């Protein structure tokens, strides 16, 4: 059954006759279209993809399972291709802007327009083997970049920005499309900021180097974090923290099982860090879903109440951040299988020293 | 007068007592905050910036002219720091999602919540000299990259993706933050697609090479396009089209004056292309505003009815696209001054041949 048909299956439960998709990652999921301006009407017996003249050729190349309508000046020119009868049109409350919602009600006056929950989220959470393959390939590029970077970073030679430039340069060179988020490269006390921006500050000697990066490949994201030590002599405190984070990360990977909630998987790692006395220094979620977006459902956090099913892909990335000193984070991407998680990240997790 | 005060000045006309800003580029404009999660309440005698724990430290470093509230689990914890009296709260209809709007009405039940037009757009359109300076610096990086690329591109050596990787690599190396849009590198007939994606196809010999790229620097975007010829012998047709596009581009640059509308400036270039008989092959707007976003107001197109004032920064980028053959686009960034436009782009526009 096609993805669009699977949305149609939900119409009765949602109480709608037509669904209007406005969220681009969902449109890509449903039709294959990768451009930046589109709408998708799904009716019981029609589907109409709508875009503007910039995407005329690309729509015809990419869009599957929908008729294509290219408007010239105004989206609502497509009205001529929609049924002119009283139907209930559902739009996703989480994605549609108030101004467009108002305009929809005015322009599509034949429809009864209602706000509904995103019906695509549930589908997107469970990946097909094809999608898992794309994420695996995407992560393989990221792993290869990490291996390369370990060879070129030396104490005192490059700035954090240089390292980020070398990472992102290799994404396109190795066939990926682009970074899936702002690359994080942080040394010294800056590594204690979970969202550190790379600075024009030299990577020194005897300092942690935290790198968090990912790329899109065939539309699918990768995401990994490694913290390495630049120098020969990591302090005892750093080695201690590194071990705790690694133990937490591996416990979650080893003990997560299908049917556990995101909250339960989060707790597997969080308990290790709490028992070691660093609970308050792990201030973020254990992970997040990954797919056509680098952050998507399911939730892998204290708010994650849905059971994690086979086929769901997510990150496991505990961290401990000691403000003013250093931070350590270790992150893999995994896919839930029938018997536990399979890692999609290949890079080593032992403490690497570069000197 | 601060930017936040200038928003307060509009309250009477808008009929509101409090404004809630939800659009991140506007929040950056009003407070300096550059992170990815924030809300800003502006009252007549208070301003409250709200973010989550990931941005606690960054908020304290960056946010000017507002109190800071970091919520732990839920945005609406900030209610304790808002006045608990009947006030009219305006939210921007173009940016707020329906689900958040609904939640606002429920959670801030002491307020009367109404949808309004974005009051920041008008401010952001006219740049200060400081902002123009940032855009100039941002574009100087882009110009420097173009100069570099001309030296390394050779017929038959690199793919389109390689060229894009070399362009983006230099952004970070030269101090910029990141690309402000997906870099376009297109050769052969692909140059006739206005939004071409770089392919793993070698840059050949005797072919056009169209490059359209820009970067963020200090938050401000650059944007330029040049079309060069790879080889010694550009065909007559290509030289003819190049001349027409350049004439159109330069006419708009030379004849645009403050007080003209975006539509009138668009027409300056469009007339040249129409008179030459290629009007139907120039299917997009002449340009767009540039600032904290790479595409922002004012409109420089047939829909641009507002007068262009001194201090407005925008692109001038006519193109002719002959499907199956080639496309030519030439783009500068300019700032409107009292006596006409000043160019912020320094790269040459004569037809460059590389062999």
Q: What is the DSSP string of B331-353?
A: BEEEEEETTEEEE---S--S--E
Provide, as residue numbers in chain B, all residues whose Cβ is less than 8 Å from the Cβ of A200: 175
What's the confidence (pLDDT) of residue A6? 97
Rounded to 10 deg, the angle between the B98-107 and A98-107 helix axes is 110
Q: Which residue of B has its CA nearest to A94?
A: B99
Q: B104 pLDDT exceeds 90?
A: yes
Q: A226 pLDDT exceeds 90?
A: yes
Q: Which of A94, A98, A319 is most worth mutating to test chain B (most B CB atoms within 10 A of its CB)? A: A98
DSSP-assigned letter for residue A220 = E
Q: Which residue of A has its CA nearest to B161?
A: A172
Contact A195 B93 (CB under 8 A): no
Rounded percentage of chain B residues whose pLDDT exceeds 70 = 100
Q: B73 pLDDT exceeds 90?
A: no
Please report where in the chains the tokens 């808008």 appear, as a residue: B14
Mean pLDDT of A17-34: 97
What's the confidence (pLDDT) of residue B186? 97
Mean pLDDT of A146-163: 95
What's the confidence (pLDDT) of residue B54? 82
136-195 in chain A: CB under 8 A from chain B: 161-162, 164-166, 168-169, 171-173, 175, 178-179, 182, 193-195
Query: Residue A143's pLDDT band (boundaries 50, 70, 90)?
Result: very high
Contact A206, A223 (CB under 8 A): no
The β-bridge partners of B333 are B315
| Residue in A101, A161, A284 nearest the CB of B98 | A101
Q: How far is B132 from chain A (nearest CA, A)?
A: 23
Provide, as residue numbers in chain A, all residues whose Cβ is less than 8 Å from the Cβ of B55: 195
| Residue in B102, B172, B200 nearest the CB of A164 | B172
What's the confidence (pLDDT) of residue B57? 84
What's the confidence (pLDDT) of residue B195? 85
What's the confidence (pLDDT) of residue B219? 96
- For chain A, the C-alpha Rg in angstroms (whole number) is 23
Give pLDDT tens digits for B167-183: 999 999 999 999 999 99
Q: Which residue of B has its CA nearest to A166?
A: B169
Q: A104 pLDDT exceeds 90?
A: yes
Q: Which residue of B has its CA nearest to A159?
A: B173
The β-bridge partners of A38 are none
Provide, as residue numbers in chain A, all residues whose Cβ is less than 8 Å from the Cβ of B164: 172
Contact B168 A172 (CB under 8 A): yes
Provide, as residue numbers in chain B, all residues whose Cβ is less than 8 Å from the Cβ of A284: 53-54
Q: How far is B90 from chain A (nearest CA, A)?
A: 13
| Residue in A194, A200, A323 nearest the CB of B175 | A200
| Residue in A99, A161, A164 nearest the CB of B94 | A99
Contact A284 B53 (CB under 8 A): yes
What's the confidence (pLDDT) of residue B121? 96
Q: Residue A221: which of A208, A211, A212 has the closest Cα?
A: A212
Give pLDDT tens digits for A258-293: 999 999 999 999 999 999 999 999 989 999 999 999
| Helix then strand then coil, % of chain A, to nearest 5 | 35, 25, 35
- A–B interface: beta-carbon pairs under 8 A: 95
Q: Residue B153: which of B142, B140, B164 has the closest Cα?
A: B164
Contact A266, A285 (CB under 8 A): yes
Annotated domain spans of chain B: 3-124, 126-354
Provide, as residue numbers in chain B, all residues whose Cβ is less than 8 Å from the Cβ of A114: none
Contact A161 B172 (CB under 8 A): yes
Mean pLDDT of A46-72: 93
Instruction: Give CA angle at B224 (B223, B225), nearest 5°.
Output: 140
Q: How far is B86 from chain A (nearest CA, A)?
A: 23
Distance CA B285, CA B299 (A): 9
| Residue in B97, B161, B195 nearest the CB of A97 | B97
Q: How far is B344 from chain A (nearest CA, A)?
A: 25
Contact B101 A98 (CB under 8 A): yes
Provide, as residue numbers in chain B, all residues whose Cβ is less than 8 Å from the Cβ of A96: 97-98
Contact A168 B173 (CB under 8 A): no
Q: Residue B266: which of B222, B211, B227, B308 has the closest Cα?
A: B308
Residue B265 CB-half CA count within 13 A: 37
Using CA atoms, how far residue B161 sits from A223, B175, B187, B203, B211, in Å, is 22, 22, 11, 10, 11
Mean pLDDT of B85-113: 97
What's the confidence (pLDDT) of residue A54? 82
Q: How far is A128 from chain B (nearest CA, A)?
A: 26
DSSP letters spanning A255-293: H--TT-BHHHHHHHHHHHHHHTT-GGG--S-SEEE-SSS
As a dihedral over the C-alpha atoms of residue A123, residue A129, residue A130, residue A136, rounded to 10 degrees, the angle is 110
Average pLDDT, chain B: 96
Given CB atoms, is B126 within the 8 Å cutoff of chain A?
Answer: no
Contact A173 B194 (CB under 8 A): no
Q: Which residue of A has its CA nearest to B95?
A: A97
Using CA atoms, how far residue B318 sits from A86, B11, B253, in Å, is 44, 39, 11
Mean pLDDT of B217-242: 97
Q: Residue B151: which of B82, B228, B236 has the closest Cα?
A: B228
Q: How far is B298 from chain A (nearest CA, A)?
A: 18
Strand arrangement, sheet containing A220-221: A178-179, A215-217, A220-221
Q: Which CATH number fits domain B3-124: 3.30.70.1150, 3.40.350.10, 1.10.10.10, 3.30.10.20?
A: 3.40.350.10
The answer for residues whose C-beta is within 8 angstroms of residue B305's C-beta and 6 or more apart is B261, B262, B263, B299
Contact B162 A173 (CB under 8 A): yes
Asked, as a colleague might, if the bond just before A298 is cis with ω within 30 of 0, I would say yes
Contact B341, B315 (CB under 8 A): no
Residue A166 CB-half CA count within 13 A: 18
Q: Hey, what CATH class is B126-354 in?
A: alpha beta
What's the confidence (pLDDT) of residue A35? 92
Query: Residue A246's pLDDT band (boundaries 50, 70, 90)?
Result: very high
Return the biggest CA–CA distance within chain B: 74
Q: How far is B181 from chain A (nearest CA, A)?
A: 11
Distance CA A296, CA A124 (A): 9
Residue B261 CB-half CA count within 13 A: 9
Distance CA A307, CA A297 (A): 12
Distance CA B327, CA B350 (A): 16
DSSP-assigned letter for residue A159 = B
Contact B159, B203 (CB under 8 A): yes
Q: Residue B82: which of B39, B51, B46, B31 has the closest Cα?
A: B46
Contact A98 B98 (CB under 8 A): yes
Q: How far is A304 from chain B (nearest CA, A)?
A: 13
This complex has an ipTM of: 0.88
Please report, in angstroms and rounded to a whole number, the separation of the first and last CA atoms in chain A. 55
The β-bridge partners of B287 are B300
What's the confidence (pLDDT) of residue B224? 98
Q: B194 pLDDT exceeds 90?
A: no
Contact B178 A179 (CB under 8 A): yes
Give pLDDT tens digits for B275-298: 999 999 998 999 999 999 999 999
């Amino acid at each position: 059954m096609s993805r669009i048909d699977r949305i149609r299956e939900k119409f009765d439960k949602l109480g709608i006759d037509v669904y209007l998709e406005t969220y681009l990652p969902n449109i890509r999921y449903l039709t294959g279209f990768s451009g930046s301006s589109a709408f998708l009407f799904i009716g019981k017996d029609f589907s109409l993809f709508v875009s503007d003249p910039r995407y005329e050729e690309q729509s015809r190349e990419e869009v599957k399972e929908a008729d294509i309508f290219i408007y010239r000046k105004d989206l609502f020119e497509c009205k001529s291709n929609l049924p002119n009868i009283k139907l209930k049109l559902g739009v996703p409350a989480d994605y549609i802007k108030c101004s467009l919602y108002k305009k929809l009600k005015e322009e599509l006056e034949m429809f009864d327009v209602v706000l509904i929950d995103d019906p695509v989220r549930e589908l997107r959470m469970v990946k097909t083997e094809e999608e898992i393959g794309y994420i695996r390939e995407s992560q393989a590029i990221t792993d290869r970049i990490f291996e390369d970077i370990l060879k070129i970073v030396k104490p005192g030679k490059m700035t954090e920005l240089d390292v980020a430039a070398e990472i992102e340069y290799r994404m396109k060179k190795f066939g990926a499309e682009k970074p899936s988020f702002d690359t994080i490269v942080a040394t010294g006390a800056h590594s204690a900021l979970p969202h550190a921006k790379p600075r024009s500050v030299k990577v020194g000697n005897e300092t942690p180097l935290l790198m968090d990066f990912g790329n899109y490949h065939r539309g699918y994201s990768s995401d990994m974090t490694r913290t390495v030590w630049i120098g020969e002599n990591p302090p005892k405190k750093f080695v201690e923290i590194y071990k705790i984070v690694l133990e937490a990360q591996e416990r979650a990977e080893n003990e997560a099982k299908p049917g556990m909630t995101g909250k339960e998987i989060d707790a597997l790692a969080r308990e290790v860090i709490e028992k070691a006395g660093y609970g308050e220094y792990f201030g973020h979620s254990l992970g997040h879903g990954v797919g056509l977006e680098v952050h998507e459902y399911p939730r892998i956090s204290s708010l994650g109440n849905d059971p994690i099913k086979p086929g769901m892909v997510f990150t496991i990335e505990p961290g401990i951040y000691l403000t003013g000193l250093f931070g350590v984070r270790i992150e893999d991407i995994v896919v839930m299988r029938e018997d536990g998680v399979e890692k999609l990240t290949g890079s080593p997790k032992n403490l690497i020293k570069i000197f």
